[in-house]
Protein backbone atom coordinates (compact mmCIF):
# COMPACT_ATOMS: atom_id res chain seq x y z
CA UNK A 1 0.00 0.00 0.00
CA UNK A 2 2.83 2.43 0.81
CA UNK A 3 4.61 1.70 -2.46
CA UNK A 4 1.44 1.95 -4.54
CA UNK A 5 0.54 5.25 -2.92
CA UNK A 6 3.99 6.73 -3.54
CA UNK A 7 4.01 5.52 -7.14
CA UNK A 8 0.74 7.38 -7.70
CA UNK A 9 1.81 10.45 -5.68
CA UNK A 10 -1.00 9.82 -3.18
CA UNK A 11 0.68 10.79 0.07
CA UNK A 12 -2.39 10.25 2.26
CA UNK A 13 -2.89 6.73 0.92
CA UNK A 14 0.79 5.84 1.30
CA UNK A 15 1.27 7.24 4.81
CA UNK A 16 -1.89 5.91 6.47
CA UNK A 17 -0.73 2.25 6.60
CA UNK A 18 2.43 3.36 8.43
CA UNK A 19 0.38 5.02 11.18
CA UNK A 20 -1.84 1.95 11.50
CA UNK A 21 1.17 -0.35 11.68
CA UNK A 22 2.96 1.73 14.33
CA UNK A 23 -0.17 1.60 16.47
CA UNK A 24 -0.46 -2.18 16.08
CA UNK A 25 3.24 -2.76 16.64
CA UNK A 26 3.48 -0.68 19.80
CA UNK A 27 0.17 -1.49 21.48
CA UNK A 28 0.13 -5.17 20.58
CA UNK A 29 3.47 -6.80 19.72
CA UNK A 30 5.81 -4.72 21.89
CA UNK A 31 3.43 -4.69 24.85
CA UNK A 32 2.94 -8.45 24.67
CA UNK A 33 6.68 -9.07 24.29
CA UNK A 34 7.86 -7.07 27.32
CA UNK A 35 8.54 -10.18 29.40
CA UNK A 36 10.44 -11.74 26.49
CA UNK A 37 12.69 -8.69 26.25
CA UNK A 38 13.95 -9.12 29.81
CA UNK A 39 17.63 -10.00 29.78
CA UNK A 40 17.94 -11.52 33.24
CA UNK A 41 17.72 -15.23 34.02
CA UNK A 42 17.39 -16.63 37.48
CA UNK A 43 19.63 -19.69 37.73
CA UNK A 44 18.67 -20.28 41.35
CA UNK A 45 20.64 -22.03 44.03
CA UNK A 46 20.46 -25.77 43.47
CA UNK A 47 22.81 -28.51 44.62
CA UNK A 48 21.07 -31.34 42.80
CA UNK A 49 22.78 -31.90 39.43
CA UNK A 50 19.52 -32.79 37.65
CA UNK A 51 17.80 -29.63 38.88
CA UNK A 52 20.80 -27.54 37.83
CA UNK A 53 20.72 -29.08 34.35
CA UNK A 54 16.96 -28.50 34.03
CA UNK A 55 17.25 -24.87 35.11
CA UNK A 56 20.19 -24.36 32.73
CA UNK A 57 18.10 -25.76 29.87
CA UNK A 58 15.17 -23.48 30.71
CA UNK A 59 17.48 -20.47 30.98
CA UNK A 60 18.96 -21.30 27.56
CA UNK A 61 15.46 -21.49 26.05
CA UNK A 62 14.55 -18.18 27.67
CA UNK A 63 17.68 -16.50 26.29
CA UNK A 64 17.00 -17.95 22.83
CA UNK A 65 13.41 -16.66 22.88
CA UNK A 66 14.57 -13.25 24.13
CA UNK A 67 17.13 -12.98 21.34
CA UNK A 68 14.52 -14.00 18.77
CA UNK A 69 12.13 -11.31 20.04
CA UNK A 70 14.88 -8.67 19.95
CA UNK A 71 16.02 -9.69 16.45
CA UNK A 72 12.43 -9.58 15.21
CA UNK A 73 11.93 -6.13 16.71
CA UNK A 74 15.18 -4.88 15.19
CA UNK A 75 14.21 -6.19 11.74
CA UNK A 76 10.77 -4.56 11.97
CA UNK A 77 12.24 -1.20 13.04
CA UNK A 78 14.77 -1.30 10.19
CA UNK A 79 12.07 -1.99 7.62
CA UNK A 80 9.79 0.60 9.20
CA UNK A 81 12.50 3.26 9.04
CA UNK A 82 12.88 2.60 5.29
CA UNK A 83 9.15 3.13 4.75
CA UNK A 84 9.17 6.26 6.90
CA UNK A 85 12.19 7.81 5.16
CA UNK A 86 10.28 9.66 2.38
CA UNK A 87 7.85 11.19 4.90
CA UNK A 88 9.94 11.73 8.04
CA UNK A 89 13.59 11.60 6.97
CA UNK A 90 15.14 12.72 10.25
CA UNK A 91 13.07 10.45 12.49
CA UNK A 92 13.64 7.53 10.12
CA UNK A 93 17.39 8.14 10.23
CA UNK A 94 17.35 8.32 14.03
CA UNK A 95 15.55 4.97 14.30
CA UNK A 96 17.90 3.39 11.76
CA UNK A 97 21.03 4.49 13.59
CA UNK A 98 19.76 3.32 16.97
CA UNK A 99 19.03 -0.25 15.85
CA UNK A 100 22.30 -0.84 14.01
CA UNK A 101 24.41 -3.53 15.69
CA UNK A 102 27.67 -2.91 13.84
CA UNK A 103 28.36 0.83 13.90
CA UNK A 104 31.65 0.49 11.97
CA UNK A 105 31.09 1.78 8.42
CA UNK A 106 32.07 -0.65 5.68
CA UNK A 107 33.80 0.24 2.44
CA UNK A 108 30.57 0.82 0.55
CA UNK A 109 28.94 2.79 3.42
CA UNK A 110 25.77 0.76 2.89
CA UNK A 111 24.83 0.82 6.58
CA UNK A 112 25.68 4.47 7.20
CA UNK A 113 22.21 5.81 6.48
CA UNK A 114 18.68 4.61 5.95
CA UNK A 115 18.59 6.84 2.88
CA UNK A 116 21.23 4.66 1.21
CA UNK A 117 19.14 1.49 1.52
CA UNK A 118 17.22 -0.26 -1.22
CA UNK A 119 13.47 0.17 -1.09
CA UNK A 120 11.77 -2.82 0.51
CA UNK A 121 9.79 -5.07 -1.83
CA UNK A 122 6.51 -6.47 -0.54
CA UNK A 123 6.39 -10.22 0.02
CA UNK A 124 3.49 -12.65 0.20
CA UNK A 125 1.82 -12.84 3.59
CA UNK A 126 0.05 -15.67 5.38
CA UNK A 127 -3.53 -14.44 5.02
CA UNK A 128 -4.90 -17.30 7.14
CA UNK A 129 -2.87 -16.42 10.25
CA UNK A 130 -3.68 -12.72 9.75
CA UNK A 131 -7.40 -13.51 9.64
CA UNK A 132 -7.10 -15.70 12.74
CA UNK A 133 -5.23 -12.96 14.59
CA UNK A 134 -7.88 -10.41 13.62
CA UNK A 135 -10.59 -12.74 14.94
CA UNK A 136 -8.65 -13.06 18.20
CA UNK A 137 -8.31 -9.30 18.52
CA UNK A 138 -12.02 -8.79 17.80
CA UNK A 139 -12.87 -11.27 20.56
CA UNK A 140 -10.49 -9.52 22.95
CA UNK A 141 -12.04 -6.14 22.14
CA UNK A 142 -15.60 -7.34 22.80
CA UNK A 143 -14.59 -9.18 25.99
CA UNK A 144 -12.81 -6.12 27.38
CA UNK A 145 -15.88 -4.03 26.58
CA UNK A 146 -17.99 -6.55 28.52
CA UNK A 147 -15.57 -6.28 31.46
CA UNK A 148 -15.86 -2.50 31.42
CA UNK A 149 -19.67 -2.67 31.49
CA UNK A 150 -19.50 -4.94 34.55
CA UNK A 151 -16.96 -2.67 36.22
CA UNK A 152 -14.40 -5.47 36.61
CA UNK A 153 -10.75 -4.51 36.17
CA UNK A 154 -8.65 -6.52 33.72
CA UNK A 155 -6.25 -7.41 36.53
CA UNK A 156 -9.03 -9.39 38.21
CA UNK A 157 -9.01 -12.94 36.75
CA UNK A 158 -12.31 -14.53 35.74
CA UNK A 159 -13.17 -18.17 35.29
CA UNK A 160 -14.62 -18.38 31.81
CA UNK A 161 -15.31 -16.53 28.56
CA UNK A 162 -17.96 -17.86 26.18
CA UNK A 163 -17.68 -16.86 22.54
CA UNK A 164 -20.88 -17.34 20.56
CA UNK A 165 -20.56 -17.10 16.79
CA UNK A 166 -20.81 -19.10 13.63
CA UNK A 167 -17.48 -17.87 12.28
CA UNK A 168 -15.39 -16.79 15.25
CA UNK A 169 -13.82 -20.14 16.10
CA UNK A 170 -10.09 -19.70 16.71
CA UNK A 171 -8.23 -22.96 16.09
CA UNK A 172 -4.65 -21.94 16.85
CA UNK A 173 -3.74 -22.82 20.47
CA UNK A 174 -1.29 -19.93 20.71
CA UNK A 175 -3.98 -17.45 19.67
CA UNK A 176 -6.40 -18.94 22.19
CA UNK A 177 -3.75 -18.42 24.87
CA UNK A 178 -3.31 -14.83 23.72
CA UNK A 179 -7.04 -14.25 24.18
CA UNK A 180 -6.86 -15.76 27.68
CA UNK A 181 -3.93 -13.52 28.59
CA UNK A 182 -5.48 -10.34 27.20
CA UNK A 183 -8.92 -10.88 28.73
CA UNK A 184 -7.49 -12.55 31.88
CA UNK A 185 -9.72 -15.63 31.93
CA UNK A 186 -8.93 -19.23 32.79
CA UNK A 187 -10.98 -20.91 30.07
CA UNK A 188 -12.53 -20.05 26.70
CA UNK A 189 -15.54 -21.89 25.30
CA UNK A 190 -16.60 -21.49 21.66
CA UNK A 191 -20.30 -22.03 20.95
CA UNK A 192 -22.36 -21.70 17.80
CA UNK A 193 -24.73 -18.77 17.67
CA UNK A 194 -26.70 -16.64 15.25
CA UNK A 195 -25.03 -13.42 16.34
CA UNK A 196 -21.49 -12.62 17.38
CA UNK A 197 -21.27 -11.99 21.11
CA UNK A 198 -19.28 -12.87 24.19
CA UNK A 199 -20.33 -13.74 27.73
CA UNK A 200 -18.17 -13.50 30.83
CA UNK A 201 -18.58 -15.55 33.98
CA UNK A 202 -18.41 -12.68 36.48
CA UNK A 203 -18.50 -14.78 39.66
CA UNK A 204 -15.32 -14.03 41.63
CA UNK A 205 -14.34 -16.92 43.89
CA UNK A 206 -11.94 -16.46 46.85
CA UNK A 207 -9.15 -17.99 44.75
CA UNK A 208 -9.77 -15.58 41.88
CA UNK A 209 -10.02 -12.67 44.32
CA UNK A 210 -6.64 -13.55 45.82
CA UNK A 211 -5.07 -13.69 42.37
CA UNK A 212 -6.61 -10.33 41.52
CA UNK A 213 -5.18 -8.81 44.70
CA UNK A 214 -1.78 -10.22 43.82
CA UNK A 215 -1.90 -8.71 40.34
CA UNK A 216 -2.70 -5.32 41.86
CA UNK A 217 0.21 -5.78 44.26
CA UNK A 218 2.52 -6.71 41.39
CA UNK A 219 1.43 -3.65 39.41
CA UNK A 220 2.43 -1.38 42.28
CA UNK A 221 5.80 -3.09 42.67
CA UNK A 222 6.44 -2.67 38.94
CA UNK A 223 5.42 0.97 39.26
CA UNK A 224 7.99 1.42 42.04
CA UNK A 225 10.67 -0.15 39.84
CA UNK A 226 9.80 2.32 37.10
CA UNK A 227 9.98 5.25 39.51
CA UNK A 228 13.45 4.11 40.54
CA UNK A 229 14.39 3.95 36.82
CA UNK A 230 15.35 0.28 37.06
CA UNK A 231 15.82 -1.83 33.95
CA UNK A 232 14.71 -5.49 33.72
CA UNK A 233 18.25 -6.74 34.39
CA UNK A 234 18.38 -4.90 37.76
CA UNK A 235 17.63 -7.51 40.44
CA UNK A 236 16.41 -6.13 43.77
CA UNK A 237 15.57 -7.20 47.32
CA UNK A 238 12.11 -6.34 48.58
CA UNK A 239 11.12 -5.52 52.16
CA UNK A 240 7.37 -5.71 52.80
CA UNK A 241 5.43 -4.69 55.89
CA UNK A 242 1.90 -6.10 56.08
CA UNK A 243 -0.40 -8.18 58.29
CA UNK A 244 -0.67 -11.98 58.38
CA UNK A 245 -3.26 -12.09 55.59
CA UNK A 246 -1.10 -9.90 53.37
CA UNK A 247 1.93 -12.06 54.10
CA UNK A 248 0.03 -15.21 53.13
CA UNK A 249 -0.92 -13.55 49.85
CA UNK A 250 2.70 -12.65 49.07
CA UNK A 251 3.99 -16.09 50.05
CA UNK A 252 1.39 -17.79 47.85
CA UNK A 253 2.58 -15.95 44.74
CA UNK A 254 6.20 -15.22 45.70
CA UNK A 255 7.76 -17.43 43.00
CA UNK A 256 5.91 -15.55 40.27
CA UNK A 257 6.61 -12.23 41.99
CA UNK A 258 10.35 -12.89 42.04
CA UNK A 259 10.35 -13.93 38.40
CA UNK A 260 8.21 -11.12 36.99
CA UNK A 261 9.37 -8.23 39.18
CA UNK A 262 13.08 -9.14 39.22
CA UNK A 263 13.22 -9.81 42.97
CA UNK A 264 15.95 -11.92 44.55
CA UNK A 265 14.78 -11.98 48.16
CA UNK A 266 11.61 -10.96 49.99
CA UNK A 267 11.77 -10.01 53.67
CA UNK A 268 8.82 -9.25 55.93
CA UNK A 269 10.04 -6.39 58.10
CA UNK A 270 9.12 -2.83 58.98
CA UNK A 271 9.16 -0.50 55.98
CA UNK A 272 8.73 3.28 55.64
CA UNK A 273 5.27 4.61 54.86
CA UNK A 274 6.50 6.45 51.76
CA UNK A 275 5.49 3.50 49.56
CA UNK A 276 2.16 2.41 51.03
CA UNK A 277 -0.78 0.96 49.12
CA UNK A 278 -4.16 -0.46 50.05
CA UNK A 279 -5.71 -3.36 48.18
CA UNK A 280 -9.17 -4.07 49.51
CA UNK A 281 -8.75 -4.65 53.23
CA UNK A 282 -4.99 -5.21 52.91
CA UNK A 283 -2.25 -2.65 53.46
CA UNK A 284 1.33 -3.00 52.18
CA UNK A 285 4.43 -0.89 52.75
CA UNK A 286 7.48 -1.42 50.52
CA UNK A 287 11.19 -0.81 50.56
CA UNK A 288 13.14 -1.76 47.45
CA UNK A 289 16.90 -2.33 47.74
CA UNK A 290 19.08 -2.58 44.67
Identical topology for domains 2-116 and 206-289:
no
3-state secondary structure string across the chain: CHHHHHHCCCHHHHHHHHHHHHHHHHHHHHHHCHHHHCCCCCCCCCCCHHHHHHHHHHHHHHHHHHHHHHHHHHHHHHHHHHHHCCCCHHHHHHHHHHHCCCCCCCCCCCCCCHHHCCCCCCCCCCHHHHHHHHHHHHHHHHHHHHHHHHCCCCCCCEEEEEEECCCCCCCCHHHHHHHHHHHCEEEEEEECCCCCEEEECCCCCHHHHHHHHHHHHHHHHHHHHHHCCCCCCCCEEEEEECCHHHHHHHHHCHHHHHHHHCEEEEEECCCCCCCEEEECCEEEEEEEEC
Largest CA distance in the chain: 69
pLDDT on residue 55: 58
What 8-state DSSP symbol labels residue 116?
A: G
- 185-191 and 158-164 as β-strands: parallel, antiparallel, unpaired? parallel
Per-residue pLDDT of the chain (290 residues; tens, 9 = 90+): 888 888 888 888 888 999 999 998 998 888 888 878 875 554 444 445 555 565 566 677 878 888 898 999 999 999 999 999 999 999 999 999 999 876 555 555 556 899 989 998 888 888 888 888 888 899 999 999 999 999 999 999 999 999 987 776 777 788 889 999 999 999 999 888 777 889 999 999 999 999 999 999 999 999 999 999 988 778 999 999 999 999 999 999 999 999 889 899 999 999 888 889 999 899 999 999 98
Domain residue spans of the chain: 2-116, 127-200, 206-289
**Nearest Cα residue to 139 out of 198, 200, 202:** 198
pLDDT on residue 66: 85
pLDDT on residue 45: 46
Instruction: Please identify, in words, the CATH class of the domain defined by 206-289.
Output: alpha beta
Show the DSSP H helices in 127-243 as ranges. Answer: 127-150, 173-183, 206-227
pLDDT on residue 241: 94
Q: What is the CATH topology of the domain spanning 2-116?
A: Isoleucyl-tRNA Synthetase; Domain 1 (1.10.730)
Amino acid sequence: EVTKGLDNYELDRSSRPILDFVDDFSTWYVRRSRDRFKSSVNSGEFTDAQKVAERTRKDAEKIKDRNFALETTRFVLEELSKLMAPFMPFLAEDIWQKVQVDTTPNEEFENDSVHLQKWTEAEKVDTEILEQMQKARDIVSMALEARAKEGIKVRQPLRELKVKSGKWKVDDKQLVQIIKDEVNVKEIVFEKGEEEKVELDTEITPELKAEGNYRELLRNIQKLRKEKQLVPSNIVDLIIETNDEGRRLVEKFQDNLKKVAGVKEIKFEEAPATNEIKIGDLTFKFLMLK
